[in-house]
Structure 1
């Protein structure tokens, strides 16, 4: 589709994959709403877009807060009058074994990663219906398919996103709203670096082991995942809904 004047909301847009989605969407001609819990990071990305001559605004918001989500959607509609694309990308990823995970931590992961998708879709879809359609991409993870020690809450939330995506896609398939999920593998983002910062092994050694363990011999880049997300949201991809797109360098193909 032509991205010219399309309004795109990206959660977790202040860094990593979210930042790459924001920049690529803006360069295609979209008007981008950068949503981030830390206002400074969102404002930084929006300014990068503006400095390149494109259009963006930054809205601070905690995706685990229904009130914040309602405010972000209301401000977007007030500013632009519509929402064409929603990318649910924001997530948290603590690495804690199940018996060491308290209920508060569990609830925080589920509300930030999974409930946020429900709430954003719930707020945005009525506006898409009024406009005659729209596209939603929910960023899950290969942890929805296979996981590692210490990721019980994260894996549960990401598996839930895949199932929720399928269900929402069926609810609105006849109303021209497509909903798909993208499952990144190991991608060099601040989240990946944060997940290893407290380990005793030097970061460089861990990153090298991550690269060597991938079938392609390297981890992915945020730009590579952003391309998949924007493909999922594009009108050229108009017959795909409820789908799960895996972009993991072959990780889940390997025994």
Structure 2
């Protein structure tokens, strides 16, 4: 039986860990050739090596997703290596916790460029290749912070809300040209980003993680593979009628009063 993504090419940003790594591995398991993009070269290569060790096909391309030159290089190298781009997963993000009045302009710009501008740059760079090939799909990983947030997340929430809005605009711009765009809103997921956000000298990490688990309606935080499954659903050609959609995977977080 042929794998669903056999012969297809997927670029995954932030593929060196957390949700991005899970997405990259899942696409490879389904037969896709995966381009793992990460700021840290060693992390990108580690994911690519894991994929190859499991019998999949992947290359690692280190890049700063906020820089147009790096984005252009990744897309050009992908086309040179594989000749096509079928799926673009914009997942890379940073998440400092700083209250608005304590946030410097440089910190604000860093969050916006890494989280939001990167989606613009990669989408703009891959769409011409997708158009030439007759279609493609973009899946953007936003966050529940796009619709509800916590203290200290002003820049992050703004960037993630922007991703959700931009996804709808991309979907509309290219709806008649067989390019679909959907956005996934994860809730609390057990990733290095979440662990770094619970660093607290007064409270042991294990206790904070227990509190995170207990605070979720479903009784636990999510796992990266659970978000990867939603990303693949959003990208799947079986869902060819779905574009501009917002898919929430948050363990019930945003439905609780």
Shift in Å, 1:53: 1.0
Deviations 1:136-171 (A, max 9, x none): 000000000100000000000000000000001000
2:82 corresponding residue in structure 1? 80
Please say if 1:38 is aligned against 2:62. Answer: no
TM-score (norm 1): 0.99
Shift in Å, 1:200: 2.8
1:193 corresponding residue in structure 2? 195
1:156 corresponding residue in structure 2? 158
Shift in Å, 1:2: 2.4
User: Which ranges in structure 1 are unaligned for 5 or more consecutive residues?
Assistant: none
63-72 or 194-203, which deviates more = 194-203
Distance 1:131 1:16 in 2: 31
Distance 1:135 1:151 in 2: 29
Partner SS, residue 34 of structure 2? strand
Distance 2:55 2:244 in 1: 35
Deviations 1:47-94 (A, max 9, x none): 000111110000000111111000000000000111000000000000
Please say if 1:229 is aligned against 2:245. Answer: no
Partner SS, residue 10 of structure 1? strand
Partner SS, residue 242 of structure 1? coil
Equivalences for residues 32-181 of structure 1 within 5 A: 32-181=34-183
Distance 2:55 2:247 in 1: 31
User: Which ranges in structure 2 are unaligned for 5 or more consecutive residues?
Assistant: none
Q: Which runs of 4+ in 1 moved over 3 A?
A: none
Query: Structure 1's 198 and 39: CA in aligned 2 closer, same or farther, altered over 3 A?
Result: farther
2:256 corresponding residue in structure 1? 254
Deviations 1:155-211 (A, max 9, x none): 000000000000010000000000000000000000000112245321111100000
